[in-house]
Chain A
Amino acid sequence: MTDAQNGGYDEFLDALEAGEGYYYACSNGHALVPPRRVCPHCGDRDLEQTELPETGEIRTHTTVTVPTPQFEDDAPYVTAIATFGQVKLTGIVRDIDPVDVEIGQEVTVTVEPSETTDERTIAFYAHS
């Protein structure tokens, strides 16, 4: 996949992979995952690139047993939404028994290929 196809999202994944994750903060305090040109909450176009905190916290999670074909070999897997400071990311929690995943758990984030297609996916690792 090229940036031309994903409109800046690949650039964001590159940064996450390099441990240099960032997000956009608008002047009214809304936090957004790239790519964005404007804040969907208030219309502000003054988006400031802000460093993503190193650790996040799981806000909610699910264990997927019936996947789409793109994640056939990954299932069952845990998908979670985690809060990193003000911004939330959605990713797959790796190397963990689904019963051990909890709301409030601390995670770090990186980018890894999925087992099924090699397509890059946001990956969380739990640190208890």
Chain B
Amino acid sequence: MSKAFVAGTGMTAFGTFPDRRGRDMFAEAGLAALDDAGLEPEDIDEVFYGNFVGTLAENQGHQGPLASEALGTTAPSRRVESACASSGLAVRDAVRAVRSGESDVVVAGGMERMSNMGTAGATDGLARAADDLFEIRSGVTFPAAYALMTRAYFDEFGGDREDLAHIAVKNHDNALVNDHAHLQEEITVDDVLESPEIAAPLGLYDACPISDGAAALVLLSPSYAKEHGLDAGVAITGSGHGGDTMALQDRQSLATAPATRDAAEAAYDDAGIGPNDVGLVEVHDCFTIAEVLALEGLGLYSYGEAIGAARRGETCRDGALPVNLSGGLKAKGHPVGATGAAQVAAVRNLLNGTHARADAVDDDVTVGVAHNAGGTVASAAVHVLEVEE
């Protein structure tokens, strides 16, 4: 299949900005992406905008048009909602719009504002990514859902909280130089193990923070890039989307992520690559266990093997496969609707040498992968990015 060039990326800082409206955050990210691409608002054909709890947090439905206005245009736009995978799937829809030949210049991105809801309000909002009848009514919070998977994983494959703590320590360490990160703070394994329990066996430091922020990408068709002499350097060459049952109780395995596997196989096939070609990856680590499930789902580790990867140093900056060089959701932050686009932005910037952690990427690395998950991975979006000759 044809590719979509990533011509520009933009992000707000991720953090706690309860007083900023979403439209202003998306304007900051989107205009930065346009500037990076060297394009104007009038060049935009379509906008795909990811957002999860905006109807609760900002009392605002129908956010698509606001996203376009924030970019300085009234180009057609829609909001894409798939919980934490909202903007990963906005990117996928944007790639498909470019590939179909209908659009040449597309903005894909997303925004979330949650800190204004308080911890209880945000916990309530995030829980809605679970099944209302089968899970929320039985007291399942979002951390609880991942805690259920964590204990099932330990039972099926082994591993312990200390293995998970090394993932948190690694991702915090990666974020230290990322000025857009929500948490720029070095932590230790003991800090994680001694952090207050939120949903046993997960503690506060196993979880990503509740973040506000926005991210955006400008995607171009190859013909438009050629015609306008735009040398984008990096392209999305593969895209995949996997699905699963909403509720954990309806799945055979509680310790794996089949939707990630399906999305990855589709994206790898699409790009004509295999897991062995992947040189760096940004995965959806909303909780430490989620990084393990992602790496195994992506085929980068066998089932049961990724739990010790950070502890062994393999996924650290100087390891064989650096994972979440941006700091991941864990430390960079997780403004839900912005996360998927921010991951693709991070992979593009790591591959073209403009990311603060690009020095950790070996010269021979030309393929990166972004993995975004919604709910307990009932939705998964995987994108393959490659350096173009």
Contact = CB atoms under 8 A, between A and B. Distances in A.
Interface stretch (B21-29, B51-59, B138-146, B231-239): B138-146
Contacts, number: 101
Given A32-B250, A68-B123, A71-B139, A61 B197 contact: no
A90 interface: yes
B151 A103 contact: yes
A121 B137 contact: yes
Contacts of A77: 139
Contacts of A60: 148-149, 151-152, 155, 254
Contact of B140 (A65, A66, A79, A119): A79
Contacts of A70: 124, 136
Contact-residue bracket for chain A? 35 or more
Given A72-B120, A122-B138, 9 more contacts: A9-B133, A60-B155, A65-B196, A68-B136, A69-B124, A70-B124, A79-B140, A81-B248, A90-B138
B249 A90 contact: yes
Q: Shortest 7 CB-CB distances between A and B: which pairs?
A: A62-B147, A88-B249, A60-B152, A63-B200, A90-B138, A68-B124, A66-B198
A122 B150 CA distance: 22
Interface in B171-218: 196-202
A31 B297 CA distance: 25
Interface of B: 119-121, 123-124, 127, 133-141, 143-144, 147-152, 155, 196-202, 245, 247-250, 254
Contacts of B147: 62
A33 interface: yes
A61 B148 contact: yes
Contact of A59 (B141, B152, B200, B245): B152
5 contacts: A35-B133, A64-B198, A68-B124, A79-B144, A80-B148
Contacts of A59: 152, 254
Given A62-B151, A65-B198, A79-B148, A90 B140 contact: yes
B198 to A, nearest CB: 5
A63 B141 CA distance: 11
A120 B248 CA distance: 20
A79 B138 contact: yes
